[in-house]
Each structure stands twice: as structure tokens, then as C-alpha cells.
Structure 1
Amino acid sequence: MRGPDCGAPTSCPTCRLGSLRRAARGDRAPRGAARVPGPAAGERHHTAETWEYDQLTAQPETLYGADDLTHLEGLDAVRKRPGMYIGSTDSRGVGHLVNEILDNSTDEGVAGHATRIAVILHADGSVQVDDDGRGIPTDVHAKSGISGVELVLTRLHAGGKFGGSGYKTSGGLHGVGASAVNALSRRFDVTVRRGGKVHAMSFRHGVPGIFDGPGPDAPFTAGPGLQVVGAMKRGERTGTSIRYWHDARYFETGAALDAEAVRLKLRNTAFLVPGVRYLLRDETGEEPAEETFHFPDGLTDMVEFLAPAGDRPVSGTLLVTGEGTYRENAADANGVMQSNVQRRAEVEIAFRWGTGYERTVECFTNTIRNAHGGTHRKGFERALARTLAEAARNARGLLRPKEDAPTLDDVLEGMTAVVHVRIPEPQFTSQTKDELSTAGITKVLQGLVEAHLKAWLEDRRTKAEARTVLQKIVDAARVRLTQKQQKDAARRKTALEGAAMPAKLVDCRSAGIDRSELFIVEGDSALGTGRLARSSEYQALLPIRGKILNVQKATLQQVLDNAECAAIVQVLGAGSGRTFDLSALRYGRVLIMADADVDGAHIRTLLITLFARYMRPLIEAGRLYAAMPPLHKITTKGRNPQTVYTYTQAEMESTVRRLEKAGKQVVTPIPRFKGLGEMDADELWETTMNPATRAVRRITLDDVEAAERILELLMGEKVEPRRNWLIDSADRVDREAIDA
């Protein structure tokens, strides 16, 4: 091994490393640096320095060249980055494939060419969408030399929705949806009834060809394009039928189509397109099920449907319809950008106020749901806040002198609204169209809504109703201000100051929320084991005595009077209801840790109801979890014993079979944990509390509407709907799996 004084300074990297570093920094080139050779073959000098030496003496242009560049052609880009085109690769992405095909059929209905659209969920996992529209064009496209069907299903950014004469407005914009579904499908069949003929074509991952048999696994031969397979029957309508089998390799493990999400999509679209009848046929269950969606009154029906159960109306449903113009920069038919192009927007809005406190505002553009709203919602809310706040100030006897005017939150309290706009070439923030970004729409909606509200406020026939609504808004503002004053007076200066914490709280030492966790545990026995098992640095424990109050049936005062509910609210330190402040939360995560039995499940349900009703931002932020304690502990005999924890009876039995098949001898009888208190501290830490090894379930609110309905059904005051649901669902129970 040579060193800095080895007598060979031009052949040893370490001897020249200092000068080479200076050269890399841009200092004056060291003398002889360009002539410094690397170590001789088979020779290693100062191995810790070799990599840096090689990098400093390499030529930069040899490290990155044209061969490092990749050009993805055709549909390769979709398969390389599927989430970019369909939003995600989980179950939502699988559902988005259906939406892309369904939206194309709906566009035919909006244009007045389709009256019936059917979605069939086949038992083999495929999805079929049929419509009686005009049918995809089957003639040959002059520029590409292929049929219109093959063009729109195999080429990105191809279709009839780029400002041509095909559609006045449409949900599809970029010509990506159908071709993306084709790219991600093991098999994709299309049938077009048009011009008196029936045309058909099949694809595998976007490549046209012929399948020799049914299903996606049939032998496939790449081959001809669109073929005429027969003649249309007398009286048969034109239209398109698409059936596809998505390829699970492009999606996360376990990703599957949610039939309920498809049902929700069809129902919403039927509200928005009252001239089309939608049919859903689900063949994935034991018995095929069919459901038809058709709502002649459109958005008025939708508002009545979305209004919370038991929410009595304060006003009738107000319907705002009209058109407006706006200007934006847009490309003409030749692709040349033009400034100040005039656009026309069709607006339809329905809304009402109820006696409750929840707000529901659903937004749509060209029948596509915009989950995050956008510029149309901004215009609607801006008009509401400005017009009704001014009306409250001018109304005699509503606001006291020097009393603050209502805000948007006060106006929206108890409101159910649907906002739908139809515009040419809308702009969205992403391919999944979750948020509308067309700027000119804001002023269009603001003008239409303000004009309608002013007429409603001044009309003699609706003056009494308008006064009732204004009174509700003013009352909401007063409650908000009163709660804010109480909150400011009671809030601690820091997270640990103020009112004393409950004596049963076992707090952690960490004052920050980055790692801190609060475990809500069932009973004192679980508390004793949990105290020994936890990491006292960042894990706190709060025991509750059995089952807490069912807050779905109780008033706010009853909730605050309940000792267990009050203790949870006090320990979290962020308030409750409308005054809940997520930034004041004392812990980064809240985990419900109950026994893995029926009583434990009931306790979890009661606690989730409490959080959903009075601390919902905690769930929306993804900071509420349910711990998953195991049911069984499987131990093997022998020199290297193995321990496996399982969570269900079926998992335990399959694990035992797997271990025995591998030659392991399982210790019997296999112990079953009847509760958290039966575990020792090491077992509880390893299975339920250690962040590195535990399994937890995050409580989410992906579908607020569905969550509200199920909470009201299972936990609400009305017994009859719950009894009927239990009776109707009895056949779904696997009686053999009941641990009696």
C-alpha cells in the first residue's frame, strides 16, 4: 500500500486527491493533473478514495449521452406511468377506467343522441358499457389511414372533442381516456352499430387482433383492424358497446372495482342528464341484480336526495338556470393560439337550506364530478356570501348595532347544493378532472346567482321564506362568535397548560406532535398491560370505562356531560364541533385499541361515531386509527422455534397448514387471546403498539355521504330502518365463521 510519501505521486490517487479536488472546484489546474494515470491493473491504492478519484478524473460528457434518453411511443407512456393518466393505481384507478368509458357514452346523451346507457359488471371481472348513441365513426381517417374506431382507441389525444363539430360540450377533453383504458387492458372488445352494419374489433394492450375464444386468456393473433361482422336488425338503434378486462399487473395488489362507486357514478349522472335512462347490471354476486336510474326533475331531485336524513327544509329548492359568456385564450382548428375567444356557458344550480348544520355542495362540469370544486364553486359561494350578508345588514331587526355580518361558513350552514356547468373545452387541474380551473366561469356564476338571489329576496311570494333563511344565517353567525369567544377564553396558552388533565391519563414525555400517539384503551386491565408495553417517550394512554355514549342520538350538552366523552375532548385539547381546531391537537395520532371481539367492535364504532360527529377534521387529516390486536398466537417446536400471530380463524388455519407442510411442529392447543389484558407486555408491544411491527387501520372519510348514511342507519334514533337492514342482511353472514 502506497501513501502520500510513497515516491510515486503520479500513480497513487490519494497522493493527487487534494489537487484534484481543487481542480473540480474550479481552482487553478494542478500541475500534471491531466497526465495523472489511475492505478495499474491489479493494483489498488487507498481503496476508500478510489471512487472519488475515478469521478474526478472522468470526462463529464462520457457520463451522460444520447443512449440514456428514452422515447415512449404510442400507449407505452400509459403503461409506464398509469397513475398519471387515471389518477392512481389503487381501487380508485380501477374505478376510473369505468368512468372514462361511461363518460364517452354520457357525452352522446348530453348531445341528444343517446337515450339509454347500460353498465354490466360481469362475473369474470370484465366491465361492459353499452349506449344507443351515434356509434364511433367507422370510416377511414384520411391522415392516419386507419378507421375512426382504431384511431380513438389506440392513439393518445385523438377524438371528436377538440372543438370540432362532434360535440358542443363534453366531459372528455384530451382524447386520452378510452385509449388509456385500452392500454391497461388484457382484452378490449368494441362493437359499433352504424350505417346499417355491425362492426367489431378487439385489442390486447392496445394492439389490434383476433382472440380465438372467449375471455382475456384466449390465444391472440395480431391482425386486421375493424371488421364488419353482420347487419343491423330492423328497428335496432345505432350505438357503441365496449367490454374490457383490466390488467391487474398495472395496479396495486388487491385493487378491485367497487360496485358501489359505479352505482354512485350512474346515479349522479342520471340526475345531471335527465333525458337518459341508466341501467346497472351486477353479475358478480350469487344472483344478478339490476337497477335503473332515471330522474326527470334533474337537479331538484338530486338536492332532495343529497339532503341529510331527517333534515327539515327551511326553504324550497331554488333553481338557477341561465347562460353567460366569458373570454379566454384558446387554439383554433389549425392549432394557432387566439386571444380573447368568446365562450358560452350553460349554468344550472339547485340549492336549499335545512334545519341541520351539515353542508353539502357538489360540483360538476359537463356531467363530470369535481370533487375539489373549482372556479364554478368559487363564483357560487362568492355570490352567496356577498348577497346574503348585504341582505342581512339591510334587513330591519336582524343584526344588532355593531354586530358582525355573517360569513360564508354561516351562509352555507345547513345548505344542500348542486352546481353544474356545461362549457366547451373546460380546463382542469389534472386528467382526473377533480377541480375546474377555467377562470372566466367565476364571474358568470357570480352574476347569475346574485341576480337570482336578489329577485328571490324581493319577491312578495318568497319574502317570508327569505326572511327565515336570513334569520337562520344570522343565528349561525352568533353561535359561531359565541363559541369562538368561549374557546379563546378557555384555551390553554400551551398544549400542556390550562385545565388539569384527567387523573387516569398516562401521558408521554414528548411535548411535540411529530411522533406522539394517544391510545384510547378499553378498561383498566388493558391499561395495566399497555403501561408496561408502551414507549413512554411518545405513547400516551387514556382508558375508558366500557361503552361510551352513542353521540348519534345525543345532544351536544349530553355529550359534554358524559365523563368518558368529555375526557377524550379534554385530553386531545382541540375542542369539538365547529370550534374544533386541528392545529391545537396535543397528539400526532389517535389510536383506538379495543379487544378483538364483538364488544370491542361496538366500542370502536361508538368512538368512531364520536370523532365523525364532533371531531371530523381529525379523520379528514388521516390521524385517527384503529389498532388490530391479534386473535391467535402460533408457536412451533424445535431448535429454532417460530412465533406467528394471526387475526382471523381462517388465517390461523391456513398458517397452521403452511407450517406443517413445511415440516414444522405446531404447539397445540393454539392459544386465543380473549382480550388485550390477557397479553403480556412484550406480546402487546410487538403485535399492537410497536410502529415497526404493528398493523393498524386508518379511519377515512372518502365518501362523506355514504358515511353519514351508515352512521345514521346503525347509530341513529330510528330503530325500524336498523331492524330492516339487519333482517335483509342476515343472509350475508357466514354462520360457520361465528365464534360462539
Structure 2
Amino acid sequence: MSEELTPNSGSNYSASNIQVLEGLEAVRKRPAMYIGDISEKGLHHLVYEVVDNSIDEALAGYCTHIEVTINEDNSITVQDNGRGIPVDFHEKEKKSALEVVMTVLHAGGKFDKGSYKVSGGLHGVGVSCVNALSTHMTTNVFRGGKVYQQEYECGKPLYPVKEVGTCAPGMTGTRQTFWPDGNIFTVTEYKYSILQARMRELAYLNKGITITLTDKRVKEEDGSFKQEVFHSEEGVKEFVRFLNSTNTPLIDDVIYLNTEKQGIPIECAIMYNTGFRENLHSYVNNINTIEGGTHEAGFRTALTRVLKKYAEESKALEKAKVEISGEDFREGLIAVISVKVAEPQFEGQTKTKLGNNEVSGAVNQAVGEALTYYLEEHPKEAKVIVDKVVLAATARIAARKARESVQRKSPMGGGGLPGKLADCSSRNPEECELFLVEGDSAGGSAKQGRSRQFQAILPLRGKILNVEKAMWHKAFESDEVNNIIQALGIRFGVDGDEDSKKANIDKLRYYKIIIMTDADVDGSHIDTLIMTLFYRYMPEVIQGGHLYIATPPLYKCSKGKISEYCYTDEERQAFMQKYGDGSENGIHTQRYKGLGEMNPEQLWETTMNPETRMLKQVHIENAAEADYIFSMLMGDDVAPRREFIEKNATYANIDA
């Protein structure tokens, strides 16, 4: 409770109690309101906000090259060859336009439709927010043969904009360098893989642009810094081929369109593979709309309408004697749709669901025309697609029978829970946790060591089904998968939802679902199998922020009466340095090969106690990249999986 609302201070509550946060102080006071969070996700979002400004210049036709550099000290530099932020005097603010852009929230050219027709930036807070959350930031502008500069600390200018040199005639652009504030962010180390995924995505979504990503923390064998250049001439057509590269294509063609309907630019690419998932990735002004929206609705309507009409006219449905549903047309589909909307309206839990009604009709028309033309011109490929649809319908009927069998046993009024589940006494989902524990031995320790009030334990026997390689209904024939679904209280395709594969989590029984496995290779594999199950069958659980991975310690280090749990090799080295001068003299190290080696008290103390444990939250930072990694790691193609493991074996942290 805030101080001014306590009963004792009511009579003193006046204007002096009202705090007005000046300038960027509001951002520093409540950073999560502006960038989502202050952990790894928010840290990387700072880079996206700066890069989005450069992308806006590219969309307006003034920028062709963007350079992103992770410096040795984990600061970031972003430089483009756009027009450069204006440095002339701003009449209203009585200061340089550059200073206004860098220090005033919601100031910039993207609010002037004459400057930018469309613009990115998820939260629209721009570079001033990045400035506010950095201990130091330096801006250089190249315009008119001159170089201008201003520096800031925590968003406040250190001096007025000044001219600091000259540049080549015709050279234009902006260079931003910033140091994220370690007092605000819980992590300040940038991950190359996260920035790599987003820069690759931006290059595909904005064909013709070149984006260079350099990591000055890593040197290659030839002495150069680690670097990648992202450039795409075919845009989303090339993007969908990349996303489908770990699957077996059903047809080799990419069904592609790049058009404008009702004043809305629309680019879309479609492929089919022999798998059983629908993978539709949608973007609005380069923002990944992970919750969908009107553009996805228009796409699905067109796909169902056109394919159903073609199937009926070709008599394929009469021969098959099965009833086709909309979802059958999307099985094995992988598609990317990118639209540019002048004034997008976002809604949904994470503000990544498009709400503009006019976009649905425009996409419906564009996709319908392109798909109709393709099917007429490619009858052989059209037949292969329709045959796949019929197969999907047949499998869906089998899946429904399997699913109904599961849901007849699902928890209703507390009954029908899996026999191995040790439930908690609380019935408030917000305070309840479910641990998915590898093996009966560790499960037994967890049951004894837990807090029975709010922690439930579900032991899992061995490795669960790899759902990436199985038809949809096969998961419901797996005891371990069924136990997880029943324990969670999740149902599929209920309440009249047209998509029988959609998970309904309205009656989710635990708001924290924690995967707890051994800290070894087998444990990591089981982690990935379970994450794949949630990502493919129950993504709503991940999107809701309910899925976590427990972090058991690797070692217990002791010297005399002093003992500490060490969760990493670095922590073990630090213990040895502190108590043994860097050697193992007199230090006893116990290596935990499995959870079962810990007694219940140790398991509680290290891995389960909310006061002391470390949990990793699983979130979908980049849906397209997550899709690619899951299908590559858990699919049939060995070569890309081996290459990924060889490159990432020492430091991989796959956080979808």
C-alpha cells in the first residue's frame, strides 16, 4: 500500500503528495510499462527500438544499409545511411530537433504522416526510451557534410547539440551508441543469437535492405570479429523457404503475392510440407503479431474458401467421403504474411493482435486471387495439396475420438486426475505450481520436500512422445502426454471453437508449470521434448507466461563447515578461488548427476523453495525462429541438428 493512502495520512493528502514525473523520469521509474520487462527480453528490445528508426527510414525510401554492433563492453552501436535526425532548431521546444527526439517521449517523425506513411516500433516509445534506460548514450548525425553530436546520461543531455567534424559530401545517417543501465536491467549481456534472429527477420521483411550484425566480443580464427550480413532480394518468399528448410516440402513451389489492396501493401508467401502443423507467421509494419488478428482471419478465410471450391469442383471430396473442416486446409501449411498499415490498432494480452477491420477484407481478396490463379495454372500441385487436405480430415476424425476419450477422464469437480499426481491443497490457480519431474525417484523426493499447500508433483516416466514427428492424434494415445493434459485441466476444441486443435486454458489448474529434470544431456532432451509439446499443442500456456524450467545445482562445494550449492562451473570456480586459492586443496566437491541424488530437504532448498530457487521462464521471443529451431531439433533431418549442436554445444541456452 502506498504511503499517502494509509489511514493515518488521509488528512494530509494534498497537491504536494502528487508526484509529477518530468521528462524521461517516468520511463526510469516504470521501465516495464515502456519496454515490456527489465530482463533479457527488455534488454534486447532496446536494440529493436533503435533499429526500428532505421527501418522506418528504409520504408520511406532513404536507407539501404543498417549496421548493428555489439561492442566489447556490451554496449550497442546502430548506424544507418538514412537522412539523419534533423538538428535544426525546434520552435515549440526551443532546442535542437535532435535533442527533442532523444529526450522527449512520443516525439519524432513517425507521428507526422508526411514524414513516414507507416512505421514500426512495437510500443512506439522510440529512441528516447532507450536513452532514458541507458547510463550513457552518444548520438552522431551526418548531414550536409558535417557531423553533429550530443551525449546523455540516464536520458539527460550533457551539453547542447554541437558540430564535431566533417564528413564526406553526400554522406548522411545516424549513429547511436548506448550502454544499458545495470541498475535497471537484471541482465546486461546481449545474446548474439537473439539479435541474429531479429535482424534476419527484418532483412526478409524488408527486401533489398542490408543489415550487418557484428559481435566485437568474439574473434574468428582469422582475427576478424564475428559478423553476419543479412540481405534478401526475394523478401518473404525467401523467408518461407528458410522456415520450411527443416521440413520435407509437399510441393517445391512457393505461392507468392506482393500487391496492394484498398491502399494496404500486402506480401504473402505460402508453402506446404508433409508435416502436421500449421505455421502461420504474420507481421504488421515489421511487428510480429503473435496473437494474430484481422490479417490472419482474412488469410484463413481466403485459403478455406478457395481450396474448398477447388476440391469440390475436382470431385476430390466426393471420392474421399469425409467432411472437410477449415483446419484441414492448413495442416502442413507454412506461410508468412506481411502487411503495412498506416495507423495500426493493436489489442490482445501483449498488444500484438491486429484489430483493424479493413485489413481482413483486403487480405482475403489478395490471397484469394493469388491462390485461385496458382491452382488453375498448376493442376498437378493442386491435386497433391487437396490429397493432403483429405488425409488431414481423416486424421482429424481419429484425433477427435482420441481427444474425447481423454476429455471424458479430464478433471471435473476434482475427479479424474492422473493417479501419479500428488496434488496441492490449494484450489487457487494463481498460487498453485505443478512440477513435471523426470523419473519416479526424483518424483518421490519432490513429493516429500515440497510445500503441500501450493506445490503439486507429476512424475514422468522416461522420455515423452516427440510430438514434432507424430500425427496430431498420436499425442492423445500417449499416457504421459495425457497425464499432463489431464493434470492441467486443459481441453481442446471446446465451446464451439472451429479449430479442434486450439487449447482452452480457461480452467488451467496451475499458473506455474515447472519442468524439473536432471542437469545433464538427457535432462536437456526431456526439457526440449516437453517444451515442444507445449509449443505445438498448448502455445497459449507459454503466451500466458505459465511455463518455467527449474535450475538444479550442478555441485555442492564444501570446505570445513562452509558449504555452497553451485549452479554453474563459474560459481564452482569462484568458490575454489575464494576458499582454496583457485585449487581444490581441502575442498570437497559433490557433483549432482541427477535430481534423485538429492534428499527431499536439499531438493526443496536448491530447486523448489520460491525464496531461493532459480526459474527460467519460457517465452516466445521470436515465433518464426522458435518454429525453425523446434522443427530442426526435433525433426527427421540430422544434418542441420548436428551443425546446430556443434556450434552451440558449449553455450546453448534454447529459450523459445
TM bracket (short chain): 0.7 to 0.9
Task: Report the secondary structure of 2:90's partner residue.
Answer: coil
CA distance in 1, matches of 2:598, 2:12: 58
Per the alignment, residue 82 of structure 2 pairs with 133
Give unmatched runs, 5+ long, in structure 1: 1-53, 210-222, 326-343, 734-740
Say whether the 8 Å CA contact 1:495–1:586 is kept in structure 2: no
**Residue identity opposite 1:462 in structure 2:** H
**Residue identity opposite 2:207 in structure 1:** P
Residue 144 of structure 1 deviates from its aligned partner by 3.3
Say whether the 8 Å CA contact 2:434–2:514 is kept in structure 1: yes
**Residue identity opposite 1:684 in structure 2:** L
Say whether the 8 Å CA contact 1:516–1:587 is kept in structure 2: yes
Say whether the 8 Å CA contact 2:402–2:473 is kept in structure 1: no
CA distance in 1, matches of 2:360, 2:475: 41
- Does 2:234 correspond to 1:297? yes
- Select between 356-365 and 392-401 the one with higher mean Cα deviation: 392-401
Per the alignment, residue 361 of structure 2 pairs with 443
CA distance in 1, matches of 2:473, 2:70: 48
Residue 485 of structure 1 deviates from its aligned partner by 3.1
- Select between 117-126 and 712-721 the one with higher mean Cα deviation: 712-721
> Which one of the candidate residues 403, 417, 422 is aligned to 1:487?
403
Aligned pairs for 1:368-387 (under 5 A) are 368-387=287-306
Aligned pairs for 1:402-421 (under 5 A) are 404-407=323-326, 409-421=327-339
Deviations 1:146-185 (A, max 9, x none): 3322232223333223344323333369974022222222
Aligned pairs for 1:215-614 (under 5 A) are 223=159, 225-234=160-169, 236-251=170-185, 253-287=186-220, 288-307=225-244, 309-314=246-251, 316-325=253-262, 344-399=263-318, 404-407=323-326, 409-429=327-347, 434-457=352-375, 459=376, 461-489=377-405, 491-492=407-408, 495=411, 505=420, 507-508=422-423, 514=429, 519-523=435-439, 525-526=441-442, 529-530=445-446, 532-534=448-450, 578=501, 591-608=514-531
- Select between 481-490 and 528-537 the one with higher mean Cα deviation: 528-537
**Residue identity opposite 2:385 in structure 1:** V
CA distance in 1, matches of 2:266, 2:174: 29
Task: Report the secondary structure of 1:245's partner residue.
Answer: strand
Task: Report the secondary structure of 2:365's partner residue.
Answer: helix
CA distance in 1, matches of 2:546, 2:302: 34
Residue 405 of structure 1 deviates from its aligned partner by 4.1
Say whether the 8 Å CA contact 2:268–2:336 is kept in structure 1: yes
| Pair 1:485–1:583, CA change in 2 (3 A) | farther
Residue 725 of structure 1 deviates from its aligned partner by 4.5
The normalised TM-score by structure 2 is 0.81
Residue 312 of structure 1 deviates from its aligned partner by 0.8
| Pair 1:77–1:508, CA change in 2 (3 A) | closer
Per the alignment, residue 97 of structure 2 pairs with 148
CA distance in 1, matches of 2:20, 2:418: 63
CA distance in 2, matches of 1:430, 1:196: 46
CA-based RMSD of the aligned residues comes to 4.3
Per the alignment, residue 338 of structure 1 pairs with none
CA distance in 2, matches of 1:187, 1:456: 54
Residue 109 of structure 1 deviates from its aligned partner by 1.7
Task: Report the secondary structure of 1:283's partner residue.
Answer: strand
Say whether the 8 Å CA contact 1:368–1:433 is kept in structure 2: no
Per the alignment, residue 135 of structure 2 pairs with 186
Q: Which has the higher contact order (CA 8 A, sep 6+)?
A: 2
Per the alignment, residue 165 of structure 1 pairs with 114
Residue 378 of structure 1 deviates from its aligned partner by 2.7
Task: Report the secondary structure of 1:380's partner residue.
Answer: helix
Residue 416 of structure 1 deviates from its aligned partner by 1.9
**Residue identity opposite 2:247 in structure 1:** G
Residue 705 of structure 1 deviates from its aligned partner by 4.0
CA distance in 2, matches of 1:427, 1:585: 29
| Pair 1:588–1:373, CA change in 2 (3 A) | closer
Residue 574 of structure 1 deviates from its aligned partner by 6.1
CA distance in 2, matches of 1:406, 1:476: 9
Residue 655 of structure 1 deviates from its aligned partner by 4.9
Task: Report the secondary structure of 1:250's partner residue.
Answer: coil
**Residue identity opposite 1:99 in structure 2:** Y
Say whether the 8 Å CA contact 1:631–1:674 is kept in structure 2: yes
| Pair 1:411–1:163, CA change in 2 (3 A) | farther
Query: What percentage of aligned pairs have identical amino acids?
Result: 38
Task: Report the secondary structure of 1:284's partner residue.
Answer: strand
CA distance in 1, matches of 2:248, 2:580: 58
**Residue identity opposite 1:81 in structure 2:** R
- Does 2:600 correspond to 1:684? no
Residue 195 of structure 1 deviates from its aligned partner by 1.8
Residue 99 of structure 1 deviates from its aligned partner by 1.5
| Pair 1:731–1:595, CA change in 2 (3 A) | closer
CA distance in 1, matches of 2:24, 2:508: 47
Per the alignment, residue 115 of structure 1 pairs with 64
CA distance in 2, matches of 1:644, 1:537: 28
| Pair 1:279–1:67, CA change in 2 (3 A) | same
- Select between 519-528 and 91-100 the one with higher mean Cα deviation: 519-528
Residue 447 of structure 1 deviates from its aligned partner by 2.6
Per the alignment, residue 208 of structure 1 pairs with 157
Residue 309 of structure 1 deviates from its aligned partner by 0.9
Deviations 1:668-699 (A, max 9, x none): 64555454444334333444445565444444
Task: Report the secondary structure of 1:161's partner residue.
Answer: helix
Residue 271 of structure 1 deviates from its aligned partner by 1.6
Deviations 1:18-63 (A, max 9, x none): xxxxxxxxxxxxxxxxxxxxxxxxxxxxxxxxxxxx97xx9x7x44
**Residue identity opposite 2:15 in structure 1:** A
| Pair 1:108–1:185, CA change in 2 (3 A) | same
**Residue identity opposite 1:232 in structure 2:** C
Say whether the 8 Å CA contact 1:398–1:471 is kept in structure 2: no
Residue 726 of structure 1 deviates from its aligned partner by 4.9
**Residue identity opposite 2:398 in structure 1:** T
CA distance in 2, matches of 1:652, 1:596: 15
Aligned pairs for 1:14-163 (under 5 A) are 62-163=11-112
| Pair 1:395–1:499, CA change in 2 (3 A) | farther
Residue 573 of structure 1 deviates from its aligned partner by 8.1
Give unmatched runs, 5+ long, in structure 2: 1-6, 493-499
Say whether the 8 Å CA contact 1:159–1:175 is kept in structure 2: no
Residue 79 of structure 1 deviates from its aligned partner by 2.4
Residue 110 of structure 1 deviates from its aligned partner by 1.9
- Select the structure of larger CA radius of gyration: 1
**Residue identity opposite 2:50 in structure 1:** I
Residue 544 of structure 1 deviates from its aligned partner by 5.4
| Pair 1:265–1:230, CA change in 2 (3 A) | same
CA distance in 2, matches of 1:365, 1:554: 32
| Pair 1:66–1:284, CA change in 2 (3 A) | same
| Pair 1:456–1:536, CA change in 2 (3 A) | same
CA distance in 2, matches of 1:196, 1:531: 71
Residue 304 of structure 1 deviates from its aligned partner by 0.9
- Select between 73-82 and 540-549 the one with higher mean Cα deviation: 540-549
Task: Report the secondary structure of 1:440's partner residue.
Answer: helix
CA distance in 2, matches of 1:175, 1:574: 36
Task: Report the secondary structure of 1:316's partner residue.
Answer: coil
Say whether the 8 Å CA contact 1:385–1:411 is kept in structure 2: yes
**Residue identity opposite 1:305 in structure 2:** F
CA distance in 2, matches of 1:549, 1:401: 30
**Residue identity opposite 1:274 in structure 2:** K
**Residue identity opposite 1:348 in structure 2:** E
CA distance in 1, matches of 2:242, 2:520: 36
Deviations 1:68-89 (A, max 9, x none): 2233332233223222322322
